[in-house]
Structures are given as structure tokens and as C-alpha cells.
Chains A and B, each alone.
Chain A
Amino acid sequence: MTTTLHREDTASDEPAPTRERPSVSRRFVGGGRTGWTLAALVAAVLVAVPVLMLAASILTPSGDVWAQQWRTRLPGELRNTAVLLVGVAVGTVVLGAGMAWLVSAYRFPGSKQFGWMLILPLAMPSYILGFLTLSTVGRTGPVQDWWREQFGRDAWFPDVESLGGAIITFTLVMYPYVYLLARAALRDQASGAYQAARTLGATRAEASRRIVLPLVRPAVAAGAAIVIMETLTDFATVTYFGVDTVSVGVFQIWRGTYDRDAASEIATLVLAFALLAIGLERVARGRARFAQSTAAGAGIEPIRLRGGRAVLATGTCVLLLLAAFVGPVLRLVLWAIQEQRSVRGTPQIDQFGDYLANSLQLVVFTVVVCITVAVVLANAQRFGRPRLTRFSTRVTAMGYAVPGPVVAIGVILAVVGFDELLGRVGLELPGAVRTGSLLILVYAYAVRFLAPGLTAVESGIGQVSDEVTASARTLGATTLETARRVHLPLTRSALLAATVLVGVDALKELPIVLLLRPFGFDTLPVWVYLLASESRFQQAALPSLSIIAVALLPVALLARRLDRNEP
């Protein structure tokens, strides 16, 4: 907490002394340049330290482990990881952008409701959909049982416990990331330009292809990047499907051979994949930067679909929602009812209130910290030294590409190291900053979840044209005033999206809270884990439902907002 506030203070103290400096740089130089740059650098250092604590092991490579891994698992893991990432990226882009286009550009029965309902799967943690999928359509689930009854024991059925099954599951849970950003871009950026193109005589198809597509491309690329990071660092879900990825390999070395150093070395491969994804995102975005200089136009005029096409459109939406959300939730509800009626009941249900309160507390802390830092960083890119701030922002976003447990151990090592440093000069860390304190937990969450918040805030600020910033500055506003009175109000939608993305991610997060939490501080996902880790999936139904229910609140809020016309 204190660090974040302090960071803001550093920024706000600065403007006065440098205010009169003449404008020399490409950007809006002048007030607050040092302050903004410094704030961005501090954020980057705070995120980088715990990751570097572990990455340092690469300096003394464990040659024999690498050799052994290359000879055995690594080639397969690299191949699986690549296929999984490409599959999920393609799947979420097609599904996310496609659905965004479908509900924005067409009218069909239910299109308005589907517009917000399609975000719902965001509330479903992938680890829950993982075990639900397997226990429903997996080899021993009711679907295949029925299939075998009909067609005999050896009847062919697609292999669910496979790379393909994992790709489909991830796609169903994560397409909303792309969908959300694509829809926001369609509404905020593309609608005005689309209208202009149509006025200038472009056909509908031409305007869509030549105007809308390039304008939406950065948002889709950003969404795909988030999806790739989430998939890359996942460990629980891929294990359900028996898919051996690099992350699985890292855990196998860490938990199975107790070799943390070698595990973190292999984990650098995960980082390499992440860097590759970020690089690809930059390429996909292109050099273009689109800002909205006028108020949004009337929007893309939706075409009314009739007959077979309308049925097809409605059918697609219904099927998608059934598979990604309604079906799984129904299955959980049935299990939960069954468990409540049985003698065992759901364990620890009497502590539900505590779990809920702890989860909410953690989510609020994380959102406050992440959004504050994201806003500072996004503004710093406009006001600070371009190279340094851009570099800092990239570093800050890297935390998302590091698996949760790796972040958690890194944070413990960093805190213990800091404590020792203080100890040398005779000081002691106060209890609140010890490992296993809520503060440290939030710090780890911030390291991990700054990226999704930052992505959303950045894309929001990207929409504010340079001229607007320049006008405010010319009229004598300090950088801080510009940020607060011009940028913030103009990026309200993006801030809301960022809040929801970070909040839902923080609510669903499991490995960090499992490893770093204080005594007695159990959250809803911990409750699910404790049951699921002993394969008590049916007893985990009620806890799982409660996570989904809580996540639905912000998702519904965002959905309502999305449906309104003005940003």
C-alpha cells in the first residue's frame, strides 16, 4: 500500500520545478518529466526484483539437468506448448473477434442480450472448467458412458484428455478477453471512422475490411496476448488433460526433484515464449496508433438478419454459452444439491463467510494497487522519457508471464533478502511486511496482475489523441492535472474494463494465495483447491459456484456499461 501511494507522491511532487523547461523532445516534454519517469522505473524495479531473484540461477546453469531434459521431455514439451498457444490464440481470436463483430454488426433474435451474456465465461476459472469437462465428456463421464451403451465398448470417441481438449477448454474460458477488447474498440474507435467511410461512398464490406479491421486489430492483438500469457503460465488445467507443457516440466523438476534452481532455469523458457508472444503482438498491432479525435459517431448500423441466417446467428450464441457457461454451471448446481443432501455435505461450509470476506478484501486491495500503478504508468508514457518509460512498462507487464508459484517464491526471497539488508543496519521489518502477511500477498498479486490492467488502461489512453494532451498542456495544466482532469475522465470505460479484468483474475487466482497467505486466511479458490486436490470434485461444486457467483457481479456491471451507448 504505502509503496504505491509513495510512488504517486513522487510523481506529484515533481511538476513545479521543471515546469518552465522548454519543449525539446518528440513528446510533451516539460512538467513532471523526471517524476513520471521515476515513478515508472520504481514500479518496474518492484516487479522485476522478485522475478530476478529466481532468474539469477541461470547464471550458474545446471548443465546436467538441461542435458537430461533435452534428451527426454523438453522437445515434446516445447512442441506441445507451441501448439497449445497457437491453438488457443487462434481459437480465442476467431471466437472473440467473430462474436464481437456478430453482435455489433447484426441484429438477430436475442442479439442485444447475447451482447453482454457472451462475457459471462470470464467468471469461470479454467481449473474448474477443466475438471468439469473431464468429468462430463471425459472417458468415464456420462456422455461417453452413454455413447458406449449405444455403440459398444470400443466405439470411437474423440480423445478429450488431449491437446485438442485442452485447446477447446482454454478457448471457451478465455475468448471473452478478446471479445471484450474487440467490442470496446468496435464501439469507441471504429464506429466514427466507419461512418466517415460510408459517407465517402465506401460499401459496407469495403468499410468493414479497410477501416474496421485495421482499427480493431490492436485490440484483438492485445486480447490475444493476455490469453497467451494465461495459457502459458497455467499448470492445473493442462495437467487435467495430460498435456505436457514447459510449465508442467518446470513444476515436475521443482516439486519432484526438489531442484528449485534447475526449475527456474527451465522457467526462463516460459519467459522466452512470453517475449515471443509480446513481440508478435507488437507486429500484429503494426506501427499504427489510432486515436479518436472526434466524438463517437452513430456507430456501425447493424443489419437485421432474417430466416436461416438469424437462426444460425442465434444458434451459435446459444451453443457457445451452453458449452462455456450454462452447461458447466448447471452441472455444478446439480452436484452441489446432491452433496448438500448427502450425509457428508460440503466440508467447511460454516466458514463460507470468512472465505468470501477474505476473497473480497484481497480483490479490492489488488484492484486498487494495480489500477493506480497502471494509470501512473500509462500517463508516464505520455509525460516521461519515452524510452525509459516504455522499457519500464514492458518490464512491469512481464510479471504476467511468470507462473504464480514462481512469483510467490520470488517474493518471499525478495522480502527475506530485504529483511537481512535492514538487519545489517540494525533495523527490523515491521510485522506487516513479513512473509505471510496480507501486504506481501497483495504485492505478489500486483506483480502478477499489473499487465491485464495496464493493457486496458493503455489502450484507453491510446484513444486520447496527442492533440488533446497538447491542448491541455498549452492551456497551462500541469502534467498531473492533465492526467487527472483530461486523461482520467476520457478513459473511464477502459478503467472499468481494467478493474474488472484485474478483479476477476485476482478472485480466481490460486497458486499465489495458496503459497503466500497468512495463517487462517483462506479464500474461495483455496477452498476449491483443498477439495479438488483430493479429487473430491463433487464436494468442490458449491465452492466453485460461489467463485463464479462473485465474479459475475463485476462482469455484469461491465456488461451493462458496454451496452450503454456513450462510453
Chain B
Amino acid sequence: MQLTPRRIAALGLTAGLCMTAVGCSGGDDDTLRVYSGRHYGIEDAFAQFTDDTGIEVEFLTGNDAELRERIQAEGDDTDADAYITVDAGNLAAAAEQGLFQPVDSPILDAAIPAELSDPEGRWFGFAVRVRTIVYNPDLLSADEAPDTYEELADPEWKGRVCMRVPDNVYQQSLVASLISAHGEEDALRIVTGWADNAELIGNDVLILESVADGLCEVGLTNHYYLAREYEENPDFPVALKWANQADRGVHVNVSGGGVTAASDQPEQAQQFLEWLATDGQDILVAANHEYPANADVAAEPLIADRFGTEFVRDELNASVFGSLNPDAVRLMDEAGYR
């Protein structure tokens, strides 16, 4: 084959592409590598961690469940030292699949309440997200607004409620907590009532907008979406009501993480978790208006002011409703919630 300039160029291009392909793969240095299903604001948090401890962090964001699958499929070869997600269901699933190693840390035990972490110490919750009732104050007074999740299944709310589609992890974990509180049979009855009453909507922001526009009187959303709306418009016409205050308390989900079983540097990974639970709390949760898991850390002013910090939380261990997640998904299918 003759060497024409064109062929030389083609060869050069190919060689160049191959070189960059090889060059891009991760090395075996002492950088801490984190798979994160949490996206918003983590970059600042990780940069702060590096400043505080001198440990470099690389992170890979993505969908919770898919990242968990990736860790599992990669097995011993995985680069991940820690896995962080936004939902207890995925944390519980990762623990059940043996992807985490137990961490024995007095710092973590002191900082994180027991109900927000795995009893065997495989994962810990760092940020608290509350899924509760929101309503349009122009259409309903605070007294008229429903008090409990169960009430939303009553026929009187037919056509007046907006809820999230069933593929959402927060809605799934809420249903899982219903199963735990009432048993399968009653939970099925409640969710069937929801399915009859509610318009299902693709995301929490649209639910809030629907309530604001008066298309629904009541909705179920995570609290920080409303905080975000208030941030832009303090007069956003939606109010929040903590659910089930007279009984078990409002459902809280966690964003948390653990050290992977195949981690090359479990000590640094543990140090990272400890930092997230203490010094890193504020930077991790404040930007996204979540409640800190560590009781010694104050909630950021907007939610502290508008929503308050004193309310009854469902103390059901996150690992319990996490493991009930598959049942919750099946139950929603059975209830025709779709």
C-alpha cells in the first residue's frame, strides 16, 4: 500500500484517537472516587472536602439505580470507593447486594440519628427530604387542607389532588412507609383511593405549579421544591402542611451513602463520610434546601423560617422502607396507580 499524504493523515488520526482513548482511563493513585446519584451542589462540597483534608476526589454522577448496577457489574474491579444516592431504597438495595462494607465510626454514630442509617452501619443518611402535603391557600384554609396521607384517599378529594407518577423514588418510598405502618392490605386500599382521586404528574415542580394555578387544591411533594419556588417568588401561592402530625409523623427520606465493599482506600472513604456528616453538612444540604441529618447543624434560614424545624417525623428506619421499595412498586401496580 502506498503512503499517500491522505493515508498518512488517516493513520495519524487513528493513532491519535487510540492514544486519547487509552489516556482517558482512570489510574491507580490515591484519589478518592465517588459514584453519586446526587447532583446538585456536590461539586462545591467535594471541593471543600479536598480543601479541608487534602484528599483529592473524583466523582461520577448519574441515576441512582444505574450507578448501583454499575458497581455490581464491575464487581472487584470497580473504581468506586463510595456510593452516594438520594433515596433510601437504593441504599437498602445496595446493602442487600453486598456492595457496601460496614463502617465502625464513633463520629458517624454520634452525628447521624439511628433511624437515618443502616442498623449494620453499611450506609448513613446525610440529608433529609420530607415528602408532605402542599395546598393552595386561596382555595383552602390551613384547617381545610388534609392532615394525613390517608385522608387523601377519601372520596371527598376526588379530582382535587395532584400526585407524582409511580416511577418516582420518593413516591415509592412514601408508599413503602404506608405498607410498614398499615400492612399490605390497608396500604393497597389507601393507594387505590389515591389512584381514584389524583391526577398523576411527571415531576414535583409541575405539581407545585398546578397547585399554584388552582388546577389542584392539594399536592404531595418534597419540601425543598417549594423552598426553591419561594426563593424565586416569596409570594408563591402554595403553602405547606406537615402530614400526620397527630400520629406517626411526616415521611422523611434520606440522601446518603456508604463505603463500597471493593474500595481500595476504605479509610479515606470513611473519612469522607464522616466529613459529610459533620463539617460538610452545611455545604451539602443548604444549597438544595434540605434538612441536615446531624441535629447539631442548623437548617438553612429559608426553610427554618418558612417551614420550621420542629415537626414530628416518622421514625421508621430508612432501611425498612428502603427494603420495602419493591413491594411498594408492585402495590402501586395492583392499585392501578399509574
Residues of B within 8 A of A259 (CB): 326
B325 A412 Cβ-Cβ under 8 A: no
- B216 CB to nearest A CB, Å: 10
A252 B167 Cβ-Cβ under 8 A: yes
Residues of A within 8 A of B329 (CB): 252-253, 256-257
Residues of B within 8 A of A123 (CB): none
Query: Is A134's beta carbon under 8 Å from chain B?
Result: yes
Query: Is A117's beta carbon under 8 Å from chain B?
Result: no
Query: Is B225's beta carbon under 8 Å from chain A?
Result: yes
| Interface positions of A (Cβ within 8 A of B) | 1-2, 5, 68-69, 71-73, 76, 134, 138-140, 145, 148, 153, 161, 239-242, 244, 248, 251-260, 347-348, 361, 364-365, 368, 405, 408-409, 412-413, 416, 419, 430-432, 434-439, 442, 511, 514-522, 526, 530-531, 533-537
Q: How far is the CA of A361 from the CA of B18 in the complex (A)?
A: 11
Residues of A within 8 A of B166 (CB): 252, 256
Per a CB cutoff under 8 Å, which of A368, A515, A531 touches B70?
A: A515
Indicate whether A442 sits within 8 Å of B167 (C-beta atoms), given known contacts A145-B213, A242-B200, A533-B39.
Answer: no
B25 A139 Cβ-Cβ under 8 A: no
Q: How far is the CA of A352 from the CA of B22 in the complex (A)?
A: 23
B214 A153 Cβ-Cβ under 8 A: yes
**Further pairs besides A1-B17, A139-B215, A432-B22: 16, Cβ < 8 Å:** A1-B18, A76-B338, A134-B202, A239-B202, A242-B165, A416-B73, A419-B77, A431-B26, A435-B70, A435-B73, A435-B77, A438-B20, A514-B66, A526-B61, A535-B205, A537-B205
Residue of A nearest to B336 (CB): A72
Query: Is B59's beta carbon under 8 Å from chain A?
Result: yes
B21 A244 Cβ-Cβ under 8 A: no
Q: How far is the CA of A71 from the CA of B77 in the complex (A)?
A: 40
Task: Tell me the residues in window 138-182 of chain B with beta carbons closer than 8 Å to chain A beta carbons.
Answer: 165-167, 169, 172
Residue of A nearest to B40 (CB): A534
5 closest residue pairs by CB, A with B: A140-B209, A257-B326, A256-B329, A255-B65, A72-B333
Residues of B within 8 A of A514 (CB): 62-63, 66
Indicate whether A520 sits within 8 Å of B58 (C-beta atoms), given known contacts A73-B333, A256-B172, A412-B74.
Answer: yes
Query: Is B206's beta carbon under 8 Å from chain A?
Result: yes
Residue of A nearest to B211 (CB): A140
- B226 CB to nearest A CB, Å: 12
A138 B73 Cβ-Cβ under 8 A: no
| Interface positions of B (Cβ within 8 A of A) | 14, 17-18, 20-22, 24-27, 33, 39-40, 43, 58-67, 69-70, 73-75, 77, 79, 89, 93, 165-167, 169, 172, 200-206, 209-210, 212-215, 225, 325-326, 328-330, 333-334, 336, 338
- A494 CB to nearest B CB, Å: 20
Indicate whether A519 sits within 8 Å of B338 (C-beta atoms), given known contacts A242-B201, A437-B25.
Answer: no
Per a CB cutoff under 8 Å, which of A252, A516, A518 touches B25?
A: A518
Residue of B nearest to A520 (CB): B58
B225 A535 Cβ-Cβ under 8 A: yes
A248 B167 Cβ-Cβ under 8 A: yes
- B220 CB to nearest A CB, Å: 15
Q: How far is the CA of A253 from the CA of B69 in the complex (A)?
A: 13
B26 A518 Cβ-Cβ under 8 A: yes
Residues of B within 8 A of A260 (CB): 69
- A309 CB to nearest B CB, Å: 42
Residues of A within 8 A of B21 (CB): 1, 365, 432, 437-439, 442
Residues of A within 8 A of B204 (CB): 535
B25 A434 Cβ-Cβ under 8 A: yes
A435 B58 Cβ-Cβ under 8 A: no
Q: How far is the CA of A5 from the CA of B225 in the complex (A)?
A: 51
- A126 CB to nearest B CB, Å: 15
A256 B167 Cβ-Cβ under 8 A: yes
Residues of B within 8 A of A244 (CB): 338
Per a CB cutoff under 8 Å, which of A257, A438, A519, A526 touches B330?
A: A257
Residues of A within 8 A of B89 (CB): 256
Residues of A within 8 A of B26 (CB): 431, 436, 518-519
A409 B215 Cβ-Cβ under 8 A: no
A518 B24 Cβ-Cβ under 8 A: yes
Residues of B within 8 A of A530 (CB): 39-40, 61
Residues of B within 8 A of A531 (CB): 39
Residues of A within 8 A of B59 (CB): 519
Indicate whether A519 sits within 8 Å of B79 (C-beta atoms), given known contacts A239-B167, A255-B63, A534-B39.
Answer: yes
Residue of A nearest to B214 (CB): A153
Q: How far is the CA of A408 from the CA of B27 in the complex (A)?
A: 22
B326 A438 Cβ-Cβ under 8 A: no
A258 B25 Cβ-Cβ under 8 A: no
